[in-house]
Amino acid sequence: MSRSMKMICPNGHLGFAPTREGSFALGVETNPDIIAADSGSDDVGPVPLGSDTSTSPLAWQTHDLELMLLASRARGVPMIIGSAGDTGSNSRVDLYVRIIRELAAKHRLKPFKVGWFHSEIDRDWLRAKMRRGDAVTGLDARPDLDDAELDATDRIVALAGVHPYIRLLDMGADVIIGGRSSDAALFAAPAIRAGYPEALSYYLGKVLECASFCAEPYGGKETVLGEITDTEVRVTAMHPDQRCTVASVAGHAMYERSNPFYEYVAGGCLDMSECRYEQIGPKTTRVTGPKFVPSDRIRVKLEGSGKIGERFVGLVGIRDPYTIANVDRVIGWAREKARERFGNADYELHYNVYVRDGIMGASDPDRDRPAHELCVMVQGIAPTAEMAEEVCMTGTRQMFYARLPDVKGTAGSVAFALDEVMRASPAYRWTLNHTVGIDDPLEVFPCRVEQVG
Amino acid sequence: MTKLSDIAKTIRSKNAGTDKITFDVIFPDAAAYERVKGSGVMTRESMAALYRIDPARITDFVAFDPALAIKFTVLRERPSGSPGDGDIFGAQQYAPLLELDVP
């Protein structure tokens, strides 16, 4: 029997919904060498990164960290968290480190070392690179970054590869809290550090990062076990009713990825096009054949979010079939009233017409067949909260006064369940989805280790 | 006429990063997979027509044999979560695929 390393992953996005404890306990009983989970995603939209908040409740984050910390300390094996607190910003890393310290005190844990790294990128550092002719290259059809778009950005994180994780393990960290990272990297790092092939190590990370999403039947937040040897990766579902099958494991390779064959990380590309999948047990699938193609120069991916303005939201109902058929004219009327009031001032009005095309917009093939009642969500955005409220109120209430030529109901064109507009999170947008070259893979990921207890 | 939802095991959509949405249609067996793959009902062009978008916005279109899956990826009209985006996760964009007629 050749050597192997075992890792369990209890949650594909730690904190976003609570880890299921039953299958986690079964995972811990397998004597894993590493307990690891990713805690972030750009799925949650640009608001958390821009406003430097978490979308996950503190109680759920603490619950999951507590489960993993107690298991890690009881077994004496490293615990690794990536992309802390949804965004992996510096404040989220510091928050998780603080939670770890508080949990250690609460449970009177024996002294251990906590290590962390930050991932935020300073705008001036990036601007200086651009001045030196280092292009910040756009992904997914975006143009290269220019000064205007950089100026419009409030916060930038870089996605770390394996490098800061390996460094922190070298520094003796027992618990690692990572800033923004490629999901696969935090699992790949301990395997690569132990000398396992890079291709299999990154594949292990790729398959484990979403926990039970690589198992069937569907059911999130359950623990999976990954085991790497010098020649293969084996992945096993821990929940009694879940299995890792050829279809579920291969199917997971394409989840949330534009292409099922290639996964880019800082330092290279995982090529899964010749992976072979075999069922080797009722709950276990074996994978062989991934390749890793190192890049000439390390390019890190950057995510950036910029504030558009303060935001209020209004909700409008429509029941008259004639008004439903003419809802765009009703919206046009309200937009015109806002134009009359605010002119060319810096504001935005957005309308989502639910039960027509509120979810898909112009892509909806059924948008010509609206239902018998509609709900319209109105968003008003402006530089100040006061103005955003008035923009939203204008865009909402003026729908009530819309003048349609043949309408029978002349006492009000729409229905309000709430005659008010509500303050929402400020509006942000993704300003950066780019890459930039770096010379030292640790250059933008400063690492620290401190004793706890 | 058979609908895609009658013979596919999974039909889903989800963000692939901030600027794209990816669609996965996964079949329970090779027969169903090959039937749809060979029918021409799912192509880059037919998907662009179904979603009323320029075919150039479909960045990837892949038949993925190991997973018995057909997958395509679309550039979003605007980045996820920008004001007016009705689906931050891209999780409900698959619905029109359910009713697709399979010969």
Return d(Cα A228, Cα A329) in angstroms, integer.
Answer: 61
Q: Select the residue of A47, A348, A381 nearest B81 (Cβ to Cβ).
A: A47
Name residues 320-349 of chain A within 8 A of B (Cβ): 348
Would you place residue A66 in the very low, low, confident or very high pLDDT band (cuts 50, 70, 90)? very high
Write out the H or E segment, with its range, that includes residue A298: strand A298-318
- Asked if residue A333 lies in contact with residue A401, where contact means CB atoms within 8 angstroms, the answer is yes
Closest-CA distance of chain B to residue A134, Å? 23
Residue carrying structure tokens 């409220």 = A389
- Tell whether the model's pLDDT for residue A204 goes beyond 90: yes
Residue carrying structure tokens 């050749």 = A2
Nearest-CA neighbor of A447 among A166, A164, A114? Answer: A164
Return d(Cα A171, Cα A115) in angstroms, integer.
Answer: 8
Name residues 29-88 of chain A within 8 A of B (Cβ): 42-47
Answer yes or no: do B18 and A360 touch at CB < 8 A.
Answer: no
Return d(Cα B25, Cα B33) in angstroms, integer.
Answer: 9
Q: Select the residue of B10, B71, B93 nearest A360 (Cβ to Cβ).
A: B93
pLDDT of residue A205: 96
Answer yes or no: do B60 and A258 touch at CB < 8 A.
Answer: yes
Closest-CA distance of chain A to residue B45, Å? 14
Nearest-CA neighbor of A424 among A370, A371, A388? Answer: A388
Return d(Cα A253, Cα A214) in angstroms, integer.
Answer: 8
Answer yes or no: do A254 and B64 touch at CB < 8 A.
Answer: yes
Q: Is A372 exposed, middle or buried (0-12, 13-18, 19+ CB in 10 A)?
A: exposed
Instruction: Over range A88-113, report the average pLDDT.
Output: 98
Between chain A and chain B, how many beta carbons pairs sit less than 8 Å apart?
139
- Asked if residue A153 lies in contact with residue A94, where contact means CB atoms within 8 angstroms, the answer is no
Return d(Cα A36, Cα A40) in angstroms, integer.
Answer: 13
Q: What separation in angstroms does the CA of A403 have from each of A81, A397, B73?
A: 57, 13, 42
pLDDT of residue A410: 82
Return d(Cα A10, Cα A19) in angstroms, integer.
Answer: 6
B91 part of contact set with chain A, CB < 8 Å:
no
Helix residue ranges, H only, A311-354: 321-325, 327-342
Nearest-CA neighbor of A140 among A303, A373, A1, A294? Answer: A303
Q: Cα–Cα–Cα angle for A76, A78, A80, nearest 5°?
A: 150
Per-residue pLDDT of A236-284, as tens digits, reads 999 999 999 999 999 888 888 899 999 999 999 999 999 999 999 999 9
Return d(Cα A192, Cα A184) in angstroms, integer.
Answer: 12
B83 part of contact set with chain A, CB < 8 Å:
yes
Nearest-CA neighbor of A224 among A359, A429, A26? Answer: A26
Q: Which of A183, A257, A349 to mutate to test the interface with B (most CBs of B within 10 A)?
A: A257
DSSP codes joined into one string, A126-151: HHHHHHTT---EESTTPPPP-HHHHH
Nearest-CA neighbor of A251 among B28, B60, B91? Answer: B28
Return d(Cα A73, Cα A76) in angstroms, integer.
Answer: 5
Nearest-by-CA chain A residue for B26 = A251
Per-residue pLDDT of A303-356, as tens digits, reads 999 999 999 999 999 999 999 999 999 999 999 999 999 999 999 999 999 999
Please report, as a single letter, which amino acid is at residue A56.
S
Sheet-wide strand order for B58-64: B10-15, B20-26, B69-75, B58-64
Q: Which of B9, B15, B19, B74 to mutate to test the interface with A (most CBs of A within 10 A)?
A: B19
- Per-residue tokens: A75: 């077994």
- Tell whether the model's pLDDT for residue A409 goes beyond 90: no
- Asked if residue A36 lies in contact with residue A77, where contact means CB atoms within 8 angstroms, the answer is no
B41 part of contact set with chain A, CB < 8 Å:
no
Per-residue b/e over A408-424, b at no fewer than 16 CB within 10 Å? eeeeebbeeeeeebeeb
Nearest-by-CA chain B residue for A303 = B18
Answer yes or no: do B92 and A45 touch at CB < 8 A.
Answer: no
Cβ-based contacts of A380 with chain B (< 8 Å)? none
Answer yes or no: do B87 and A363 touch at CB < 8 A.
Answer: no
Could you tell me where the beta strands, DSSP code E, fall in A41-129?
Answer: 79-86, 112-117
Closest-CA distance of chain A to residue B97, Å? 10
Cβ count near B14 (within 10 Å): 18
Cβ-based contacts of B49 with chain A (< 8 Å)? none
Cβ-based contacts of B82 with chain A (< 8 Å)? 46, 427, 429-430
Answer yes or no: do A251 and B88 touch at CB < 8 A.
Answer: no
Predicted structure pTM score: 0.95
Q: Select the residue of A247, A350, A364 nearest B83 (Cβ to Cβ).
A: A350
Q: Which of B62, B64, B85 to mutate to test the interface with A (most CBs of A within 10 A)?
A: B64
- Tell whether the model's pLDDT for residue A297 goes beyond 70: yes
Q: Select the residue of B22, B85, B86 nearest A258 (Cβ to Cβ).
A: B22
- Per-residue tokens: A216: 């069937």
- Asked if residue B100 lies in contact with residue B4, where contact means CB atoms within 8 angstroms, the answer is yes
Dihedral Cα A147, A151, A153, A157, nearest 10 deg: 60
Q: Select the residue of B17, B71, B95 nearest A254 (Cβ to Cβ).
A: B71
Beta-ladder partners of A404: none
Nearest-CA neighbor of A311 among A235, A234, A384? Answer: A384
Per-residue pLDDT of B27-78, as tens digits, reads 999 999 999 999 999 999 999 999 999 999 999 999 999 899 999 999 999 9
Percent of chain A with pLDDT over 90: 93
Answer yes or no: do A259 and B62 touch at CB < 8 A.
Answer: yes
Instruction: Over range A146-161, report the average pLDDT.
Output: 98
pLDDT of residue A1: 53
Q: Which of A360, A375, A425, A433 to mutate to test the interface with B (most CBs of B within 10 A)?
A: A360
Answer yes or no: do A257 and B16 touch at CB < 8 A.
Answer: yes
Answer yes or no: do A275 and B83 touch at CB < 8 A.
Answer: no
Name residues 10-29 of chain B within 8 A of A (Cβ): 10, 14-20, 22, 24, 26
Nearest-CA neighbor of A419 among A436, A437, A399? Answer: A399
Nearest-by-CA chain B residue for A358 = B86
A275 part of contact set with chain B, CB < 8 Å:
yes
Per-residue pLDDT of A434-448, as tens digits, reads 999 999 999 999 999
